[in-house]
Amino acid sequence: MSSVHAPYGFVPLSEHVFLPEWQGAVSQDLPFEDGLSGTIDLRLIAETPIFVRGSNKDEFFRTPDAVYAIPGSSIRGAIRNIIEIATFGWMSRFNDHRYGVRDLHNQDVYGQHMAEIMSAPDGSRQPMPKVIAGWLQRGEGSERVATITPCHFAKIEYRRLMSYAKERQVPGFSPGNRQSSVSKYRAWGKASLDVMVEVEKLRPVQGVSLPYGFGRVVGPGSTAATLVFTGQPSSWRPDQPPRRGGGQAKHHDFVFYGSGTPVPVSSDIFKGFEFVHSDRGQQNARGREFLPNEEWEYWKSNYDEGKKVPVFFLAHPNGELRAFGLAMMFRLPYDHSVKDGVLNCQPALKKTDGILDFAQTLFGHVPPGIDETSESDTFKGRLLKGRVSFGLARAEGNPKPVALVDVVLGSPKASYYPAYIEQGPAAPGAEPAALNNKPKWKTWMDSDVRVRGWKRYRPQPGPVSPALPTRGDGRAMDVSRVASRLNPLPESTSFLLRLRLHNVRRAELGALLWALDFGKDNEARHTLGMARSLGYGRCRFEVAEMNLENVREIGVSNGDEARAEFESLMEKFADENHIPGGWKHSRELFELRALAHTLDESSPHRLHMRIDDPVVRNEFQSAKQAGRALPSAGTTERWAVEARAAGHAITLAGPPAEPGSATRDAGTQKQSVGAWREATQAPRSQSIKSGTRIEVELTGLSKKGKWQAKVLSPAAIGVVAFGVAPEDAAVGKKYTVVVTAGGDLGNVQMKWR
C-alpha cells in the first residue's frame, strides 16, 4: 500500500486564535464607527453537476413556487468555515464522541487490552482473554445506572452446541453460518438455553483483575450454565481446513455459570457502551448516535424490563469497571474523546470562559443548553445574534436536472486514525514513527492525541462513478439500503442570492469578501451539496452588486479597502504571535488553498479507499499495517519554498526518531541516528562504513532542517547532516554523498560530496 488516499483533507488547527477586541461591543442597535449595513448580491456558478436535497429525497430542493434553489444556511456554513480557518478560529463545533476500536492487527491499541499469554493450569502458555463475563441489569436510583454481576465463562464448540440443538429439537440451527448473534437467538427460538456441563479451567481464577475463570466445555456434567451466542463473522464448517495464514474461523460460542459481587456501571461508561453499539455512520446527523444496533436493539427491551443481558467486560486493577460489550472481543471505547484531541491542539479553548473568536462574533453564537443541537459543551460563551444573513440562492433561467444517478456515498469514520489523527510534530500528514520496524500509531488511546483539523472536501474536475462495493468473494451485493439517488442540476447552472449585512466592521466585510474567492485565488473553488466526495458541487462565487452604507449614509461599492484592512489585521496578529510564514503564508492558509484547488484527473484522491480492492483487498487495513497516513494536500517543502520566497524564515521539522534511539554530537550539530521508518529496511547483517561514497535519493527534511535520504544501494536510510545543500535540492533528487557515521541497522549519517 503506497499511500492513503481520500477525496478530503484537513487544515491544521492554529494554537493561536484571533480574538477580536470589539466582540464585547457588538450590538444590533449601537453602530460601530466604521460599521457598514446593506446588501451584496452574489452569483453562485456550479462548475460540476450539483445536488442539494429537498423534502423529496430524490429531488433537488425547490421553493414553493417550484424554483430550484439552495438554502442560505448551506452557503452560510461553507463561508463561515473558511472564515474560521482564515482567522485562526476555535474549533468549537464538533461531535464530541468517544469512538470504539476493534483492531485485531494493532496489539498496542487493542490486542493488549483484550488478551495476553498466560500460564494455564497444566503449565502451558496460552492466549487468554482478559475480559470477564457477566450479567448486565438496570440499576436503581440516579447514582447507579446499571450493574454487572460477574460470572465464570467457558467456550463451547459448535459441534457440541449443535448436538444440544438436536436434543432440544431446534430445526435448522447452524451456528457456523455467517450471521449475527441475534440470528442465532432467533433460530434457537423458545428452546431452553440452560445446560449442564463439565468445564475444564484454562485461565487462573486468582488475581485482582481476573477473579473469574475462563475455560472450555469438555462434556456433560454437573455445572449449571446458560448458553450465550455471539456473532459469526465468517463461515465455519466441521470439515473446513484452517484458513491460509489466518487459522480457522470462529468455531465456538459460550456458556456463563456461577455468580459474583455486582459491579456498578457509571453513566459515562454506559454512554460509551451505547455509542459503540449504535446503528449510525460516525459522520451521520446529530442525534443518531444512540439508535441501537441490531444486537443492542435485541437486548434493550430485556434491559428496560429489568431482565439480565449477557455481556463481557474489562476491569481496572482496582476492580472498577473499565468498559463492556456484547461480544468477547467487543469494540473497546478509546480512552480519549474528540474533545481531548481538539484541546490538545488548542489548549486555550478550555480557558476561554466564553471569549468569542472572529467567526462567532460575526455569525453569532448560541451557547449549549439554549440550542439542543449544539455539538459540544466545550465552548459556552454568551448568546449573540449574527450580523450577516445569506438568503435563498434561486436558480437562474430554467435548468433541467440531469438523469437520476444512483451512488453509494462513502462514510468516512473519524476513528480511522491514519486519516483523522496527527501522527507526529514534523508536519501535517506526517507518517507515524517506527518502533521495532512497525508503525507506532497515535490513536485516541494516547493522552496527547491531536486531531488533524478542519475537514474539507476537495474540488474535482467532474463526477466520478466508483465501482459498487462487492462481497468478500467478489460477488455483487445488494446496495439498495445504502445507495443514494441524486437528481442533480447540470454544470454551469447559476444561482442568485443576497447577502445582508448589519453593523459589520470594515475588516469583517473584508473577511467575507476574502472567503468568497479565497483572497482572489482564481484557481480556488468551493464545494456544496451532496456527493462532494464524488466530484459534485464544485462552484465559485461572483459579486454581482454591492449596496452598502456606512454610519454616515455614504455608499460603499468597492471592497478593496475592506480586504486590505482584514489582511493587515491578520498579518499583525500573526507577527505578534510569531506564526511561521505570517498570516498569508501560514501553513493553515497554505493548506486551505491547496484543498480548494481542483484535483487532477489522475489523482488517486478522487476516490475513497476500498475494503474490496482487487489488489490489496482492504486498503484501510493495508495502509495501517504499512504505516501510511493521509498526506497533507500541500507538501511541507512547497510551503517552505513559498513562505521563504515571501521573506519568511522557515525551519522545518522532520519525522520523530524511533523511541529509545541514541543521539550523538557531530561537530556543533546534534543529529538523531534513530531509525527513520522506510519501506525498505536494511538487513541486520548489512553495514555501511564511514567514508563510503554512496548514491542517495532525497525524501524530505529532518526535524533539524537537514535533508533526509534513502540510500539507493545498498538499501538503507539516513540523514544528510553536514554541508550546504545544492540549490536544486528537492524531494526525489539523487546525489552522491559521503557517509560520516555508518551503522549496521541501515541507518547512517552523510555529508554532501
pLDDT digits (tens, 9 = 90+) for 128-144: 899 999 999 998 765 56
Phi, psi torsion values for 296, nearest 5 degrees: -70, -35
Residue with cell 491544521: 12
Q: Kindly indicate the confidence band of residue 703, based on its pLDDT and cuts at 50, 70 and 90.
A: low
**CATH superfamily of this structure's domain 663-752:** Nucleic acid-binding proteins (2.40.50.140)
Q: Which of 69-73, 278-282, 654-658, 716-720 has the lowest mean pLDDT?
A: 654-658
Most confident of 57-61, 151-155, 679-683, 685-689: 151-155
Whether the CB-CB separation of 205 and 154 falls below 8 Å is answered with no
Q: Where are the domains of the chain?
A: 100-333, 663-752
Is the pLDDT assigned to residue 633 strictly greater than 90? yes
Strands annotated E in 462-595: 484-486, 494-504, 526-527, 538-550, 555-556
Q: Are 529 and 474 in contact (CB under 8 A)?
A: no
Q: Quickly state the pLDDT bin for 241 (edges 50, 70, 90).
A: low
- The pTM of this model reads 0.79
Contact (CB, 8 A) for 323 and 313: yes
pLDDT tens column, 723-753: 667 777 888 888 888 777 765 445 677 777 6
- Rounded Cα distance between 507 and 514, Å, is 10
Q: Distance of CA 686 to CAs 233, 682, 719, 739, Å?
A: 43, 6, 18, 15
Among 466, 460, 619, smallest CA distance to 2 is for: 619
The C-alpha atoms of residue 692 and residue 707 are separated, in whole angstroms, by 18
Q: For residue 278, what is the DSSP state?
A: B
Give the pLDDT score at 56.
Answer: 79
Instruction: Name the helix (H) or strand (E) containing 41.
Output: strand 36-46
Confidence band (pLDDT; 50, 70, 90) for 202? confident
Question: Residue 714: is the preceding peptide bond cis (ω within 30°)?
Answer: yes
Cell of 46: 456550479
- Summarize the confidence of residues 573-595 as an average pLDDT: 96
Cβ atoms 616, 623 nearer than 8 A = no
Per residue in 303-354, pLDDT (tens digit) is 999 999 999 999 988 889 999 999 999 999 999 999 999 999 998 887 766 7
How far is Cα 270 from Cα 239, in angstroms, rounded to an integer? 41
How far is Cα 571 from Cα 586, in angstroms, rounded to an integer? Answer: 10
Residue 75 CA, chain-centre distance (Å), reads: 24
Q: 348-378 burial by CB neighbour count: b if 16+ within 10 A, else e?
A: ebeebeebbbbbbbbbbbbebeeeeebbbeb
CA dihedral 518, 520, 521, 526 (to 10 degrees): 40
Least confident window among 29-38, 388-397, 590-599, 729-738: 729-738
Could you tell me which of 200, 136, 188 has the C-alpha nearest to residue 162?
188
Nearest Cα to 511, choosing from 554, 593, 570? 570
Q: Say what the pLDDT of residue 400 is.
A: 94
Average pLDDT over residues 532-537: 95
Residues 26, 504: Cα–Cα separation, whole Å: 9
Mean pLDDT value across residues 474-485: 73
Average pLDDT of the chain?
A: 84
For the stretch 247-281, pLDDT in tens is 678 999 999 999 889 999 998 899 889 988 987 54
pLDDT at 364: 92
Q: Which of 406, 528, 471 is nearest to 72 (CA)?
A: 528
Q: Greater confidence, 518 or 285?
A: 518
CA diameter of the chain: 95
CA distance 51 to 710: 47
pLDDT, average across residues 463-484:
72
pLDDT number for residue 299: 95
- What is the structure's pLDDT at 377? 44
DSSP string over 431-452: PPEEETTEEE---TTSTT--B-
- What digits encode the pLDDT tens for the residues 646-678? 999 887 754 444 333 333 222 222 222 222 333
Residue closest to 92 by CA, chosen among 429, 567, 533, 451: 451
